[in-house]
């Protein structure tokens, strides 16, 4: 990993495990000071320790993204202070994924999906990106999902939240891009994480016929994020980069 992010500060939501932790470690290895965020301070400390042991710089900020708008804006203020008043990179990674039949989806799960997957990125962009625009530079990446592009049974609202953040990305790119802030989405395919590793045989079955022929690892997604937030991606605005092994673009013959 090149040190192409040296001197920059990144905030990664949902960074205490899985894809978020891999993104935090990868950005740290690329030279960024990383604010690891999440609900679990113990797991956050482990990620921070990993980054520091690898020679990087990191800190932890606790946040519950379902807590409400006022709490999220207060968190944004704390994070900005922890970043020394200058945040260069925002990665909206955190998400919840309760699934099941539409008719039996309970109200708490519905509220959580909307709060964490859609409203939290919206509020954090509104709280943190204007300062980037004032300075004339910054990058935002939101982590979407391949499921935003296909219709699958029993995942309606989750998939809809991921389609929503893809469109938020396009609108934010139009709003902030002219002022120097690049905003894009990374759309992972079937990815092995602590939350789904018990279902590994199903994941292998889902990906066997894709061009990649395998399940994605969190590091595959993290490397795409590191590319998009770097200067080599300076002409990429409002895009959704599929890192899905070809699951959405192809079908076996």
Place of tokens 């002022």: 179
Asked, for residue 226, whether it belongs to a domain, the answer is: yes
What gap in Å lies between CA 209 and CA 172, rounded to an integer?
35
Of 162, 202, 219, nearest to 185 by C-alpha is: 162
Asked, for residue 248, whether it belongs to a domain, the answer is: no
pLDDT at 173: 98
C-beta atoms surrounding 102 within 10 Å = 11
- Burial environment of residue 150 by CB neighbours within 10 A (0 to 12, 13 to 18, 19 or more): exposed
Asked, for residue 250, whether it belongs to a domain, the answer is: no
What gap in Å lies between CA 51 and CA 70, rounded to an integer?
30
Asked, for residue 1, whether it belongs to a domain, the answer is: no
Asked, for residue 160, whether it belongs to a domain, the answer is: yes
What gap in Å lies between CA 96 and CA 132, rounded to an integer?
27
pLDDT at 27: 98
* Residues designated as active site: 158
Asked, for residue 251, whether it belongs to a domain, the answer is: no
CATH value at residue 80: 3.40.50.720
CA torsion 158-161-162-166 (nearest 10°) is 170
pLDDT at 142: 98
Instruction: Please count the structural domains in the chain.
Output: 1
pLDDT at 251: 86
pLDDT at 1: 67
Of 166, 75, 80, nearest to 117 by C-alpha is: 166
Question: Which range marks the domain in which residue 45 is found?
Answer: 9-243
Asked, for residue 81, whether it belongs to a domain, the answer is: yes
Do the Cβ atoms of 118 and 144 come closer than 8 Å?
no
| Segments of the chain with pLDDT less than 50 | none
Asked, for residue 239, whether it belongs to a domain, the answer is: yes
């Amino acid at each position: 990993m090149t040190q192409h992010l040296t001197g920059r500060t990144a905030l990664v939501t949902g960074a205490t495990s899985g894809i978020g932790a891999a993104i935090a470690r990868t950005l740290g290895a690329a030279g960024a000071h990383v604010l690891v965020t999440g609900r679990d301070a113990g797991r956050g400390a482990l990620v921070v320790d990993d980054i520091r042991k690898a020679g990087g710089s990191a800190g932890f900020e606790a946040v519950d993204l379902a807590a409400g708008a006022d709490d999220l804006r207060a968190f944004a203020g704390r994070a900005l202070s922890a970043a020394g008043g200058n945040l260069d990179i925002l990665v909206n990674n955190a998400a919840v994924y309760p699934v099941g039949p539409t008719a039996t989806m309970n109200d708490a799960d519905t509220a959580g999906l909307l709060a964490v997957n859609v409203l939290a990125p919206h509020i954090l962009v509104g709280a943190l990106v204007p300062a980037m625009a004032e300075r004339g530079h910054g990058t935002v990446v939101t982590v979407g999902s391949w499921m935003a592009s296909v219709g699958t049974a029993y995942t309606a609202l989750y998939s809809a939240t991921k389609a929503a953040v893809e469109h938020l990305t396009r609108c934010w790119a139009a709003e902030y891009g002219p002022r120097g802030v690049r905003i894009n989405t990374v759309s992972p395919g079937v990815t092995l994480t602590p939350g789904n590793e018990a279902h590994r045989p199903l994941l292998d079955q889902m990906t066997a016929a894709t061009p990649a022929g395998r399940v994605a690892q969190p590091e595959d997604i993290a490397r795409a994020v590191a590319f998009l937030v770097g200067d080599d991606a300076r002409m990429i605005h409002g895009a959704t980069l599929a890192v899905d092994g070809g699951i959405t673009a192809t079908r076996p013959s």
